[in-house]
Structure 1
Amino acid sequence: MIPLLTQISSHVHILPSDAERDRPNLGYIHGQNYSMLIDTGNSQAHLQMMLHEIEKAGFPAPKIALITHWHWDHTFAMHAFDGLTVAHRKTNQILGTLTQWEWTEEAMAERLRTGEECEFCDTHIKVEYDDTTKIKVVQADIAFNGSTAFNLGDVTVEVTPITNPHSDDGVVVYIKEDKVLFAGDADTGDFYTLDGGYDPDRFYHYINEVDKIDYETYIHGHLDPMTREAVRAFRKQIEDEEL
């Protein structure tokens, strides 16, 4: 079934994730003055699906896309976004490296051999792309350092980098008036250095920091939206199985 735009709160909608193609939840924040995407998706086709659903719902096209972290499934449609893209400085630095990558079969195999790429990502990139040479990686138009915030008119978007077990550049995005938090994949394991496993120090640091935020709904990159109670149960499962 093709995922449809799903309302989370007054100002927040998502296009639900698709595990088969490793497409994450994409967010849409509808403000009075302008609207914003959370992540652009893993391909132009993924982004276009999101934009089509936004248009079909009668909402204005987003003018800004905010990136949660550098991984391919969140960023490979940046080049196709007709607006400004915004990312943390660390994310933009990593994307700068990826702009030099070639996407031939030989180059991808070499990155797997050296560990620059992980097997999970390589596998799903080949599911999403019939022709990987069509992949185009770009840096964000605007890079920020530390925390930042956006006033969309009647809704505030607060962006905070937090050390986490998934990626060194991850930020969380809090829609203040709606008490909705986009976590990216921050509480997922590290697929690049730990084969999907967890560094306990980074995991518990993330929990301690993110739970200071007054969220009621938690949007993980690849799971259904969760209440705080469901988040606690999710983390308990991680502790029991991974730590």
Structure 2
Amino acid sequence: MPAIDPLSLRRLAGRVWLAPGDPDPENIRGSVAVVADDRGSVLVDAGQSPAHAREIQSAIRAAGLPPVRWLAYTHHHWDHVWGACAWPDVEIIGHVSGQEILRQEAARPWSHRYLRDQVRANPRLGPSFRARALAMEGWDDFVVLPPGRTFTDELTLPTGVRLRHVGGAHAPDSTVVLVPDSGVALLGDCFYPPPAHLRAPDDGLDLAMVRGLLSDDYEWYVDSHGEPATLDQARQLVSS
């Protein structure tokens, strides 16, 4: 079996680094950002599994970045939070509307059997739950972690990283993470349609939301499952 190349971080701009996602949509593995700071780095999303989180941890060490002190959730969906239990000694931050959702998710009896049973009961869950099964090597010590610190509208961390709630159809707790000194806006999945099992035929991208987020103060716009876009590229997207 050929060796798998280790995950590596690439610097996007200023102190923002990206761990790329998997381009295969069936794997549902998005990018994760690290905002480096000597006071402690900020991790934006946890990875979609403990194994993914450990890959990111190795990449952070290889890049020589300061250890992670804060973990900011862009929203509560599994591919953004299931790696959280592999991040010890970090403060998890998310929008208040996602906290109770994740408490309920934490109470579910996660296992491969449970995933199969859920898909049998609701076949529309198939793509998401099969991706979860592929992501998880095992369930020992796995736990879904709600944010320990919440906010309602905006929150600025000591490192100058800003969290802003935007909501939307994809998830009620969708949050954008802004790094003003680096000119980077991390959008998560905020402008995506609802998840596949909840999506209606006419649901699409919320380009009006993107339009409202564009600003000359930010040169880069990053969603979790696509390539980073410059301000000019983002403007072309919303005008097409």
Match of 1:241 in 2: none
Q: Do 1:111 and 1:117's aligned partners in 2 also have CA atoms closer than 8 Å?
A: no
State the shift of 1:193 in Å: 1.6
Deviation of residue 221 (structure 1)? 0.2
**2:153 is matched with which residue?**
146
Q: Distance in 1 between matches of 2:229 and 2:11?
A: 14
Residue in structure 2 matched with residue 78 of structure 1 by the alignment: 84
Query: Hey, what's the Cα distance between the residues in 2 that align with 1:113 and 1:195?
Result: 21
Render the CA deviation track for 1:35-60: whole Å, top value 9, x for unaligned: 11001111111111111111111111
The counterpart of 1:198, out of the listed 198, 203, 215, is 203
Aligned-residue offset at 1:85: 1.0
Partner of 1:59: 65
**AA paired with 1:84?**
E
Which whole-Å CA distance do the structure 1 matches of 2:204 and 2:117 have between them? 27
1:225 maps onto 2:228 in alignment:
yes
For residue 63 of structure 1, give the secondary structure of its aligned residue in structure 2.
Answer: strand
Amino acid of the structure 1 residue aligned with 2:76? W
Q: Call closer, same or farther: CA 1:45–1:120 in 2, change over 3 Å.
A: same
2:54 is paired with a residue whose SS is helix
- Comparing 116-125 with 81-90, greater Cα deviation is found at 116-125
- The secondary structure found in structure 1 opposite 2:157 is strand
- Matched position secondary structure for 2:232: helix
1:170 is aligned to 174
1:91 is aligned, of 89, 98, 101, to 98
Q: Comparing 165-174 with 129-138, which one deviates more in the overlay?
A: 129-138
Aligned length: 232
- Pairing partner for 1:37 from 38, 43, 47: 43
Partner of 1:240: none
Say if 2:207 and 2:238, in contact at 8 Å, map to a contact too: no
* Secondary structure class of the residue paired with 1:28: strand
Q: TM-score, normalised by structure 2?
A: 0.86
Cα deviation, residue 211, structure 1:
2.2
Tell me how far apart the structure 2 counterparts of residues 117 and 139 of structure 1 sit (CA, whole Å).
25
**Worse overlay, 210-219 or 80-89:** 210-219
Higher mean C-alpha displacement, 57-66 vs 133-142: 133-142
Q: Give distance in 1, aligned partners of 2:201 and 2:8.
A: 29
CA 1:228–1:57: 2 relative to 1, 3 Å: same
Asked if residue 108 in structure 1 is aligned to residue 111 in structure 2, the reply is: no
CA displacement 1:106-163 (0-9 Å, x = unmatched): 53345446659733211211221244576421212212222111131xxx21111113
Q: Does 1:214 align with 2:217?
A: yes
8 Å contact kept, 2:164–2:175? yes
- CA distance 1:3–1:79, shift in 2 (3 Å): closer
Runs of 4+ in structure 1 off by over 6 angstroms are none
Distance 1:132 1:34 in 2: 29
Over 3 Å counting, the alpha-carbon distance change for 1:196 and 1:85 in structure 2 is farther
The residue aligned with 1:120 is 127
Fraction of identical pairs, as percent: 20
